Protein backbone atom coordinates (compact mmCIF):
# COMPACT_ATOMS: atom_id res chain seq x y z
CA UNK A 1 0.00 0.00 0.00
CA UNK A 2 2.03 2.94 -1.29
CA UNK A 3 -0.08 5.88 -0.13
CA UNK A 4 0.38 8.53 2.58
CA UNK A 5 -0.50 7.12 5.99
CA UNK A 6 -2.64 10.06 7.09
CA UNK A 7 -6.26 9.20 6.46
CA UNK A 8 -5.82 5.49 7.19
CA UNK A 9 -7.59 3.99 10.19
CA UNK A 10 -6.11 1.73 12.84
CA UNK A 11 -6.87 -1.61 11.07
CA UNK A 12 -5.36 -0.37 7.81
CA UNK A 13 -2.26 0.92 9.62
CA UNK A 14 -1.86 -2.43 11.38
CA UNK A 15 -2.08 -4.23 8.03
CA UNK A 16 0.43 -1.80 6.52
CA UNK A 17 2.92 -2.33 9.34
CA UNK A 18 2.66 -6.10 9.00
CA UNK A 19 3.16 -5.82 5.23
CA UNK A 20 6.38 -3.96 6.03
CA UNK A 21 7.58 -6.85 8.18
CA UNK A 22 6.70 -5.16 11.47
CA UNK A 23 4.19 -6.14 14.14
CA UNK A 24 0.63 -4.83 14.14
CA UNK A 25 1.55 -2.96 17.30
CA UNK A 26 3.65 -0.58 15.17
CA UNK A 27 0.48 0.32 13.25
CA UNK A 28 -1.27 1.19 16.49
CA UNK A 29 1.67 3.36 17.49
CA UNK A 30 1.52 5.13 14.14
CA UNK A 31 -2.20 5.76 14.62
CA UNK A 32 -1.55 7.45 17.95
CA UNK A 33 1.22 9.64 16.54
CA UNK A 34 -0.77 10.57 13.43
CA UNK A 35 -4.01 11.61 15.09
CA UNK A 36 -3.39 12.26 18.79
CA UNK A 37 0.08 13.79 18.48
CA UNK A 38 -0.17 15.21 14.95
CA UNK A 39 3.22 13.99 13.72
CA UNK A 40 4.42 15.77 10.59
CA UNK A 41 7.11 13.30 9.52
CA UNK A 42 8.38 9.84 10.34
CA UNK A 43 11.39 11.50 12.03
CA UNK A 44 9.03 12.64 14.77
CA UNK A 45 7.63 9.15 15.39
CA UNK A 46 10.53 8.22 17.63
CA UNK A 47 8.84 5.09 19.02
CA UNK A 48 9.41 3.36 15.67
CA UNK A 49 12.74 1.62 15.03
CA UNK A 50 15.21 4.11 13.58
CA UNK A 51 16.43 1.72 10.88
CA UNK A 52 12.87 1.17 9.66
CA UNK A 53 12.17 4.90 9.57
CA UNK A 54 15.32 5.53 7.53
CA UNK A 55 14.41 2.74 5.14
CA UNK A 56 10.93 4.21 4.56
CA UNK A 57 12.15 7.78 4.18
CA UNK A 58 14.42 6.73 1.33
CA UNK A 59 11.37 5.96 -0.83
CA UNK A 60 8.33 8.17 -0.04
CA UNK A 61 4.98 7.18 -1.60
CA UNK A 62 3.52 8.75 -4.70
CA UNK A 63 1.38 11.76 -3.84
CA UNK A 64 3.36 12.98 -0.83
CA UNK A 65 6.77 14.26 0.20
CA UNK A 66 6.78 11.97 3.22
CA UNK A 67 4.95 8.85 4.34
CA UNK A 68 2.85 10.86 6.77
CA UNK A 69 1.35 13.11 4.08
CA UNK A 70 1.16 16.47 5.86
CA UNK A 71 1.00 19.76 3.93
CA UNK A 72 3.32 22.72 4.55
CA UNK A 73 2.10 26.07 5.86
CA UNK A 74 2.89 28.87 3.40
CA UNK A 75 1.06 31.80 4.93
CA UNK A 76 -1.09 32.65 7.92
CA UNK A 77 -3.63 35.44 8.33
CA UNK A 78 -5.15 36.15 11.74
CA UNK A 79 -8.08 38.53 12.17
CA UNK A 80 -8.77 40.61 15.25
CA UNK A 81 -11.55 38.22 16.26
CA UNK A 82 -9.12 35.28 16.22
CA UNK A 83 -10.29 33.79 12.94
CA UNK A 84 -7.19 32.16 11.45
CA UNK A 85 -6.78 31.42 7.76
CA UNK A 86 -3.97 29.13 6.65
CA UNK A 87 -2.56 28.77 3.16
CA UNK A 88 -1.12 25.27 2.81
CA UNK A 89 1.16 23.90 0.10
CA UNK A 90 0.54 20.40 -1.25
CA UNK A 91 3.26 17.99 -2.36
CA UNK A 92 2.89 19.09 -6.01
CA UNK A 93 3.14 22.83 -5.37
CA UNK A 94 -0.53 23.78 -5.31
CA UNK A 95 -1.98 25.88 -2.49
CA UNK A 96 -5.23 25.45 -0.59
CA UNK A 97 -6.99 27.41 2.14
CA UNK A 98 -8.36 26.28 5.46
CA UNK A 99 -9.84 28.45 8.21
CA UNK A 100 -10.18 28.10 11.96
CA UNK A 101 -13.14 30.02 13.37
CA UNK A 102 -13.14 30.26 17.17
CA UNK A 103 -16.22 30.97 19.24
CA UNK A 104 -17.11 30.49 22.86
CA UNK A 105 -16.66 26.81 23.61
CA UNK A 106 -16.08 25.72 20.02
CA UNK A 107 -13.66 25.79 17.10
CA UNK A 108 -14.98 25.32 13.57
CA UNK A 109 -12.60 24.34 10.78
CA UNK A 110 -13.60 25.28 7.24
CA UNK A 111 -11.90 22.83 4.88
CA UNK A 112 -11.33 22.72 1.14
CA UNK A 113 -12.12 19.66 -0.98
CA UNK A 114 -10.44 20.75 -4.24
CA UNK A 115 -7.62 22.93 -5.51
CA UNK A 116 -9.68 25.70 -7.06
CA UNK A 117 -13.28 25.14 -8.16
CA UNK A 118 -15.08 24.59 -11.49
CA UNK A 119 -18.46 26.01 -10.44
CA UNK A 120 -17.58 29.64 -11.33
CA UNK A 121 -19.83 31.34 -8.77
CA UNK A 122 -19.43 35.05 -9.51
CA UNK A 123 -19.25 36.09 -5.85
CA UNK A 124 -16.47 33.61 -5.00
CA UNK A 125 -12.75 34.33 -5.42
CA UNK A 126 -11.93 30.61 -5.65
CA UNK A 127 -13.99 30.08 -8.79
CA UNK A 128 -12.13 32.81 -10.68
CA UNK A 129 -9.10 30.55 -11.16
CA UNK A 130 -10.90 27.38 -12.24
CA UNK A 131 -10.16 23.85 -11.05
CA UNK A 132 -6.69 22.32 -10.84
CA UNK A 133 -7.50 18.99 -9.16
CA UNK A 134 -9.39 17.33 -6.34
CA UNK A 135 -7.81 16.75 -2.95
CA UNK A 136 -6.90 13.34 -1.56
CA UNK A 137 -8.16 12.16 1.82
CA UNK A 138 -4.91 12.96 3.62
CA UNK A 139 -4.93 16.52 2.22
CA UNK A 140 -8.42 17.10 3.64
CA UNK A 141 -7.70 15.61 7.07
CA UNK A 142 -4.42 17.53 7.23
CA UNK A 143 -6.33 20.82 7.20
CA UNK A 144 -8.11 19.92 10.44
CA UNK A 145 -4.84 18.85 12.07
CA UNK A 146 -3.09 22.02 10.88
CA UNK A 147 -5.73 24.28 12.42
CA UNK A 148 -5.63 22.25 15.64
CA UNK A 149 -1.86 22.66 15.74
CA UNK A 150 -1.78 26.38 14.99
CA UNK A 151 -4.65 27.34 17.29
CA UNK A 152 -3.74 24.83 20.01
CA UNK A 153 -7.37 23.82 20.39
CA UNK A 154 -9.33 20.71 19.53
CA UNK A 155 -11.73 21.39 16.64
CA UNK A 156 -15.36 20.83 17.56
CA UNK A 157 -16.92 21.26 14.10
CA UNK A 158 -15.83 20.82 10.48
CA UNK A 159 -17.54 22.42 7.49
CA UNK A 160 -16.76 21.54 3.87
CA UNK A 161 -17.28 25.13 2.75
CA UNK A 162 -13.78 26.05 1.60
CA UNK A 163 -12.33 25.81 -1.88
CA UNK A 164 -14.01 23.40 -4.29
CA UNK A 165 -17.29 21.58 -4.82
CA UNK A 166 -17.45 18.62 -2.39
CA UNK A 167 -19.88 16.62 -4.54
CA UNK A 168 -17.29 16.52 -7.34
CA UNK A 169 -14.93 14.78 -4.89
CA UNK A 170 -17.50 12.88 -2.86
CA UNK A 171 -15.55 9.64 -2.32
CA UNK A 172 -12.60 11.49 -0.75
CA UNK A 173 -14.99 13.69 1.24
CA UNK A 174 -16.84 10.68 2.67
CA UNK A 175 -13.54 8.93 3.46
CA UNK A 176 -12.34 12.10 5.22
CA UNK A 177 -15.57 12.26 7.25
CA UNK A 178 -15.05 8.62 8.24
CA UNK A 179 -11.50 9.44 9.36
CA UNK A 180 -12.54 12.55 11.30
CA UNK A 181 -15.16 10.55 13.17
CA UNK A 182 -13.38 7.23 13.66
CA UNK A 183 -9.80 8.45 14.16
CA UNK A 184 -10.18 11.99 15.52
CA UNK A 185 -13.25 11.28 17.61
CA UNK A 186 -15.64 13.79 16.04
CA UNK A 187 -19.36 13.16 15.66
CA UNK A 188 -21.01 13.23 12.24
CA UNK A 189 -23.48 15.77 13.56
CA UNK A 190 -20.55 18.17 14.00
CA UNK A 191 -19.78 18.04 10.25
CA UNK A 192 -21.42 19.97 7.41
CA UNK A 193 -21.04 19.35 3.68
CA UNK A 194 -21.93 22.35 1.51
CA UNK A 195 -22.76 22.07 -2.19
CA UNK A 196 -23.88 24.47 -4.89
CA UNK A 197 -25.47 21.50 -6.62
CA UNK A 198 -24.24 18.98 -9.19
CA UNK A 199 -26.85 17.17 -11.34
CA UNK A 200 -27.82 13.67 -10.20
CA UNK A 201 -25.31 13.52 -7.34
CA UNK A 202 -27.43 14.02 -4.23
CA UNK A 203 -29.30 10.68 -4.28
CA UNK A 204 -25.98 8.94 -4.98
CA UNK A 205 -24.35 10.83 -2.10
CA UNK A 206 -27.13 9.67 0.20
CA UNK A 207 -26.70 6.02 -0.80
CA UNK A 208 -22.89 6.14 -0.63
CA UNK A 209 -23.07 7.81 2.79
CA UNK A 210 -25.11 4.92 4.15
CA UNK A 211 -22.70 2.41 2.59
CA UNK A 212 -19.48 4.20 3.60
CA UNK A 213 -20.45 5.67 6.97
CA UNK A 214 -23.30 3.42 8.05
CA UNK A 215 -25.53 6.46 8.45
CA UNK A 216 -25.74 10.01 7.14
CA UNK A 217 -25.88 12.24 10.18
CA UNK A 218 -23.74 15.09 8.86
CA UNK A 219 -25.57 18.22 7.74
CA UNK A 220 -26.09 18.75 4.02
CA UNK A 221 -26.11 22.47 3.18
CA UNK A 222 -27.33 23.36 -0.31
CA UNK A 223 -26.33 26.78 -1.63
CA UNK A 224 -29.30 28.43 -3.35
CA UNK A 225 -28.37 32.13 -3.28
CA UNK A 226 -31.43 32.99 -5.40
CA UNK A 227 -35.16 32.23 -5.25
CA UNK A 228 -35.53 31.61 -9.00
CA UNK A 229 -33.64 30.10 -11.91
CA UNK A 230 -32.97 33.36 -13.78
CA UNK A 231 -31.23 35.08 -10.89
CA UNK A 232 -29.43 31.88 -9.89
CA UNK A 233 -27.92 31.53 -13.36
CA UNK A 234 -26.76 35.15 -13.16
CA UNK A 235 -24.90 34.40 -9.93
CA UNK A 236 -23.87 30.80 -10.69
CA UNK A 237 -23.40 30.41 -14.48
CA UNK A 238 -22.95 26.62 -14.25
CA UNK A 239 -26.46 26.27 -12.81
CA UNK A 240 -27.96 26.65 -16.30
CA UNK A 241 -27.52 22.88 -16.64
CA UNK A 242 -29.27 22.22 -13.32
CA UNK A 243 -32.68 23.93 -12.97
CA UNK A 244 -33.52 24.91 -9.43
CA UNK A 245 -36.60 22.66 -9.36
CA UNK A 246 -34.46 19.67 -10.36
CA UNK A 247 -32.05 20.54 -7.56
CA UNK A 248 -34.89 20.66 -5.05
CA UNK A 249 -36.26 17.32 -6.33
CA UNK A 250 -32.84 15.79 -5.69
CA UNK A 251 -32.90 17.33 -2.21
CA UNK A 252 -36.21 15.59 -1.58
CA UNK A 253 -34.70 12.28 -2.65
CA UNK A 254 -31.77 12.88 -0.31
CA UNK A 255 -34.13 13.52 2.60
CA UNK A 256 -36.16 10.40 1.78
CA UNK A 257 -33.05 8.19 1.71
CA UNK A 258 -31.26 9.59 4.76
CA UNK A 259 -34.08 10.88 6.94
CA UNK A 260 -32.03 14.05 7.50
CA UNK A 261 -33.25 17.56 6.80
CA UNK A 262 -31.45 19.82 4.35
CA UNK A 263 -30.13 23.27 5.18
CA UNK A 264 -30.21 25.97 2.54
CA UNK A 265 -27.53 28.65 2.30
CA UNK A 266 -28.29 32.04 0.85
CA UNK A 267 -25.64 34.71 0.29
CA UNK A 268 -27.19 38.18 0.58
CA UNK A 269 -25.90 40.56 -2.09
CA UNK A 270 -26.81 44.20 -1.49
CA UNK A 271 -29.62 45.38 -3.77
CA UNK A 272 -29.55 42.21 -5.88
CA UNK A 273 -31.16 39.34 -3.97
CA UNK A 274 -31.71 40.79 -0.50
CA UNK A 275 -35.14 42.40 -0.79
CA UNK A 276 -38.29 41.23 1.04
CA UNK A 277 -39.78 40.08 -2.29
CA UNK A 278 -36.84 37.73 -2.67
CA UNK A 279 -37.45 36.36 0.82
CA UNK A 280 -41.12 35.80 -0.03
CA UNK A 281 -40.15 33.94 -3.22
CA UNK A 282 -37.61 31.86 -1.32
CA UNK A 283 -40.20 30.88 1.28
CA UNK A 284 -42.56 29.73 -1.49
CA UNK A 285 -39.76 27.82 -3.21
CA UNK A 286 -38.80 25.69 -0.21
CA UNK A 287 -42.33 25.24 1.15
CA UNK A 288 -42.82 21.65 2.31
CA UNK A 289 -39.18 21.10 3.29
CA UNK A 290 -38.26 20.47 6.89
CA UNK A 291 -35.34 22.80 6.42
CA UNK A 292 -33.29 25.64 7.80
CA UNK A 293 -32.08 28.72 5.91
CA UNK A 294 -28.67 30.15 6.74
CA UNK A 295 -28.32 33.76 5.57
CA UNK A 296 -24.77 34.86 4.74
CA UNK A 297 -23.99 38.57 4.28
CA UNK A 298 -21.63 38.89 1.32
CA UNK A 299 -17.88 39.34 1.86
CA UNK A 300 -16.65 41.55 -1.03
CA UNK A 301 -13.96 40.42 -3.47
CA UNK A 302 -12.01 42.76 -5.75
CA UNK A 303 -13.04 40.99 -8.96
CA UNK A 304 -16.75 41.85 -8.62
CA UNK A 305 -18.79 44.94 -7.79
CA UNK A 306 -21.34 43.17 -5.60
CA UNK A 307 -22.16 45.06 -2.44
CA UNK A 308 -22.45 43.88 1.14
CA UNK A 309 -26.08 44.16 2.31
CA UNK A 310 -27.01 46.70 4.96
CA UNK A 311 -27.83 45.40 8.45
CA UNK A 312 -31.38 46.66 7.95
CA UNK A 313 -31.76 44.64 4.74
CA UNK A 314 -30.42 41.51 6.43
CA UNK A 315 -32.87 41.90 9.31
CA UNK A 316 -35.82 42.57 6.98
CA UNK A 317 -34.98 39.46 4.96
CA UNK A 318 -34.68 37.35 8.09
CA UNK A 319 -37.95 38.68 9.46
CA UNK A 320 -39.77 38.06 6.17
CA UNK A 321 -38.72 34.40 6.25
CA UNK A 322 -39.56 33.99 9.92
CA UNK A 323 -43.04 35.44 9.38
CA UNK A 324 -43.57 32.72 6.77
CA UNK A 325 -42.59 30.04 9.28
CA UNK A 326 -39.16 29.35 7.78
CA UNK A 327 -36.45 28.43 10.29
CA UNK A 328 -33.72 30.97 9.65
CA UNK A 329 -30.45 32.25 11.11
CA UNK A 330 -27.86 34.81 10.06
CA UNK A 331 -24.24 33.73 9.94
CA UNK A 332 -22.06 36.13 11.88
CA UNK A 333 -19.35 37.58 9.65
CA UNK A 334 -15.90 36.61 10.88
CA UNK A 335 -12.40 37.66 9.87
CA UNK A 336 -13.43 40.64 7.77
CA UNK A 337 -10.01 42.22 8.27
CA UNK A 338 -8.13 39.12 7.07
CA UNK A 339 -9.11 38.09 3.52
CA UNK A 340 -12.41 36.71 4.78
CA UNK A 341 -13.96 35.60 1.49
CA UNK A 342 -13.09 32.09 0.36
CA UNK A 343 -10.10 32.00 -1.99
CA UNK A 344 -8.85 35.53 -1.34
CA UNK A 345 -5.70 34.61 0.58
CA UNK A 346 -4.71 32.02 -2.02
CA UNK A 347 -5.46 34.39 -4.91
CA UNK A 348 -3.35 37.16 -3.38
CA UNK A 349 -0.51 34.69 -2.83
CA UNK A 350 -0.63 33.47 -6.45
CA UNK A 351 -0.62 37.03 -7.78
CA UNK A 352 2.63 37.66 -5.94
CA UNK A 353 4.34 34.60 -7.38
CA UNK A 354 6.18 34.29 -10.72
CA UNK A 355 4.16 32.39 -13.33
CA UNK A 356 4.69 28.64 -13.10
CA UNK A 357 2.81 25.70 -14.64
CA UNK A 358 2.94 23.89 -11.31
CA UNK A 359 0.78 26.44 -9.51
CA UNK A 360 -2.95 26.77 -10.07
pLDDT, tens digit (0-9, with 9 covering 90-100), for 143-186? 999 999 999 999 999 999 999 999 999 999 999 999 999 999 99
Residue 339 clears pLDDT 90, i.e. is over it: no
Q: Is the pLDDT of residue 14 over 70?
A: yes
pLDDT value at 356 more than 50? no
Q: Which residues contact 83 (CB under 8 A, 6 or more apart)?
A: 99, 100, 101, 102, 334, 335, 338, 340
pLDDT digits (tens, 9 = 90+) for 123-146: 988 888 899 999 999 999 999 999
Average pLDDT for 291-320: 93
* Band (360; pLDDT cuts 50, 70, 90): very low
Confidence (pLDDT) at 357? 41
What 3-state class would DSSP assign to 234?
A: helix
Residue-wise pLDDT for 217-227, tens only, equals 999 999 999 99
Mean pLDDT of the 205-209 span: 97
Q: Find, among 85, 194, 200, the residue nearest to 146 by Cα.
A: 85
Mean pLDDT estimate for the chain? 92
Average pLDDT over residues 239-252: 96
Residue 333: pLDDT band (50, 70, 90) is confident
Note whether 85 and 299 are within 8 A (CB): no
CA proximity to 170, closest of 142, 143, 134, 130: 134
Q: Is there a contact between 271 and 302 (Cβ–Cβ < 8 Å)?
A: no
* Known catalytic residue at 97: yes
Residue 336 has pLDDT above 60, yes or no: no
Write b or e for each residue in 331-350: b if 16 or more Cβ atoms lie within 10 A of its Cβ, otherwise e. eeebbbebbbbbbbbbbebb
Average pLDDT over residues 44-57: 93
Q: What local confidence, expressed as pLDDT, does residue 32 receive?
A: 98
User: Where along the chain do its domains lie?
Assistant: 10-57, 72-351
- Please report the pLDDT score of residue 116 as a whole number: 95
Q: Which of 18, 73, 97, 211 is catalytic?
A: 97
Supply the pLDDT for residue 260. Answer: 95
Distance CA 214, CA 258 (A): 11
Q: Which of 28-37, 66-75, 302-311, 341-350 has the lowest mean pLDDT?
A: 341-350
Task: Give pLDDT, residue 60.
Answer: 77
Q: Which CATH superfamily is domain 72-351 in?
A: Aldolase class I (3.20.20.70)
Residue 344 pLDDT more than 70?
A: no
Q: What is the b/e burial string over 159-170, where b = at least 16 CB atoms within 10 angstroms of the residue's CB?
A: bbbbbbbbbbbb
Mean pLDDT of 330-354: 62
Kindly state the average pLDDT of the residues 299-317.
92
To 10 degrees, what angle do helices 10-19 and 24-31 make? Answer: 130
Query: What is residue 341's predicted lDDT score, i.e. its pLDDT?
Result: 54
Of residues 121, 179, 251, 342, which has the active-site annotation?
A: 342
Confidence class for position 358, pLDDT limits 50, 70, 90: very low
Higher pLDDT among residues 207 and 358, named by residue? 207
Average pLDDT over residues 62-73: 86
Amino acid sequence: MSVPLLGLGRPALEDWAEAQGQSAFRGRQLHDWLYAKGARSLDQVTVLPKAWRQQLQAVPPAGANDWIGRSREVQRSVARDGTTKLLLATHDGHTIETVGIPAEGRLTVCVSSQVGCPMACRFCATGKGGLQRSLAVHEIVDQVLSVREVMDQRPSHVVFMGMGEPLLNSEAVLAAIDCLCTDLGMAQRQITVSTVGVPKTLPTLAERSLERLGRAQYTLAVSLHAPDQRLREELIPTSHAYPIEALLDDCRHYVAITGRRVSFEYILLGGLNDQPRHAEALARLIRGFQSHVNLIPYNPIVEEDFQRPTPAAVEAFRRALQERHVAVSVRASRGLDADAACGQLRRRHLEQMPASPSHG
